[in-house]
Structure 1
Amino acid sequence: MSRHHPLLTRSPTRPTPGIAMLPGAPELELACARVHEACGTARRTLAMWIAAQTSGPVLWVAPPYSRDALNGEGVRDWIDPARLIFVAPRRTEDLLWTMEEILRAGAVALAVGDLPGLPGLTQVRRMHLAAETGAKEGAYAPLGLLLTPGTGGAAGVETRWQLAPAHSAGQENWRLERLRARTAPQRGWDIARVAALPLPQIKTA
């Protein structure tokens, strides 16, 4: 019986898609089927920018006692509030388990975990594996976004970003920092809101 070369019998590899945080900004692209981290005082704003680049429901996992719960009017500038589905487990371990199961299902493009603290390396790895499973078996290659307090520092994430407001009189501005990435160096960008456009833009010199 003839034997086929493995390169001829292997199933073609489906390229992993990515989601850019802002329109026309490929340097700000996040790989799907992976877990990323956002920190800084404007981390929820960053999550809204990413959500605006996706379609369908966005699952938002956060503890019920959070003082920074999203308000529909507050997100209307970025996305239709009806897209948000809130899940509110009480225990931290249940927050992480819920994120893992959402990613494994591959039923949504974006799952946001608004966490009170940093997850462990094993928990992040489990979420990566779950997202890979979701990409293979679900409708979407899901992107997991962990919002962490302070300057972040979750081990094992694909990338870590920090967003902070830098507003001036009559102008909405932010400073975006890429603190960690597996395949890219640290870097920062100045972001400005343009009144005529739905999402802010990277400032150009």
Structure 2
Amino acid sequence: MSPNPPLTRAPHRGHPMLTALGEIALPLVRAHELCGPARHMLALVLAGAASGPVIWLRPAWAPGRPYPDRLAERMASGRLILMTRKRAADLLCSMEEALRAGVVPLVVADLPEPPPLTPVRRLHLAAEAGAAIGRCLPLGLILTPGPGGAAGVETRWHMAPCPCPAPGRSEWRLERRRARNAPPAAWRLCETGGRLVLSRAAMD
């Protein structure tokens, strides 16, 4: 049994959502942006909340790759399909096609910079087309460096490590900086002994 709190996909406010840790909620059939230095950790938390396989697209030129031990803490082995692309434009094209196919619930694209409005709109349309097939309700996660800024995303989330956490404990500050149907909000995410706990924090 996983030591982490249940991470489930469930309806929220009448719309199907991917939810994690009780308060993180992302509407399905849309594209969302994760930014900040801890964006990969946040993507892993959300991947653990999703069901089924996860396609993770990353630049071929990027150093490193997701650590197997960290992946194993967040999702069952064999769920991750890791793919590389040689150009940033190819990352977006591959993400669009994966969403349009409607066979994978979650598609992650690790981008070198925030994309403009037109490619993001295409991702929304591709997810809608994939959902119409009826196999799943796909969701796209765009990972961008720094403060992000992708135009037209459904939500934007920023996560960064907190300085000087307690010994044996990891802490992050999570902010919902943009959402079409929710106000800005902040949380503190703590991990102790493999257990994640999310608590509300004040907005700066």
In structure 2, how many angstroms separate the alpha carbons of the residues matched to 1:36 and 1:199?
25
Q: Does structure 2 conserve the Cα–Cα contact (< 8 Å) formed by 1:78 and 1:199? A: no
Greater strand content? 2
Structure 1 match to 2:113: 117
> CA shift at 1:107, angstroms?
0.7
What TM-score does the superposition give when structure 2 sets the normalisation length? 0.86
Aligned to 1:191: 189
Counterpart of 1:169 in structure 2 is: 167
Deviations 1:127-180 (A, max 9, x none): 000001111114110110000011100000000001111233221211100111
Q: What is the rounded CA distance, in whole Å, between the counterparts of 1:42 and 1:17 in structure 2?
A: 26
Residue aligned with 2:123, SS: helix
Which residue, out of 170, 176, 179, partners 1:178? 176
- Other-structure match for 1:11: none
Give me the whole-angstrom Cα distance separating, in 2, the residues matched to 1:88 and 1:204: 36
Query: How far apart in 1 are the matches of 2:200 and 2:82?
Result: 37
Identity of aligned residues (%): 47
Match for residue 148 of structure 1 among 144, 147, 159: 144
Secondary structure at the aligned position of 1:82 is classed as coil
| One-letter code aligned to 1:20 | T
SS at match of 1:203: strand
Which amino acid in the other structure matches residue 108 of structure 1? Answer: V
Query: Cα deviation per residue 1:22-72 (whole Å; 9 max; x = unaligned)?
Result: 2xx1x3210000000001111011011001111211100111111142121
Would you say 1:202 and 2:201 are equivalent positions? no
**Displacement, 1:81?**
4.0
**SS of residue matched to 2:51:** coil
- Tell me, yes or no, if the aligned pair for 1:161 and 1:177 is still in contact at 8 Å: yes
Is this contact kept in 1: 2:51–2:105, CA < 8 A?
yes
Q: Is 1:17 aligned to residue 13 of structure 2?
A: no
Query: Over aligned residues, Cα RMSD in angstroms?
Result: 1.6
Alignment counterpart, residue 80 of structure 2, candidates 84, 104, 127: 84
- The count of aligned residue pairs is 186
> Whole-Å Cα distance in 2 between the matches of residues 138 and 44 of structure 1?
29
Partner Cα distance (1:172, 1:132) in 2:
37
Q: Return 5+ residue gaps in structure 1 as ranges.
A: 1-14
CA distance in 1: counterparts of 2:176 and 2:105, whole angstroms: 22
In the alignment, the residues of structure 2 paired with residue 81 and residue 40 of structure 1 have an alpha-carbon distance, to the nearest angstrom, of: 26
For 1:46, the equivalent position in structure 2 comes to 42
Question: Shift in Å at residue 74 of structure 1?
Answer: 2.6
Which blocks of at least 5 consecutive residues in structure 2 are unaligned?
1-13
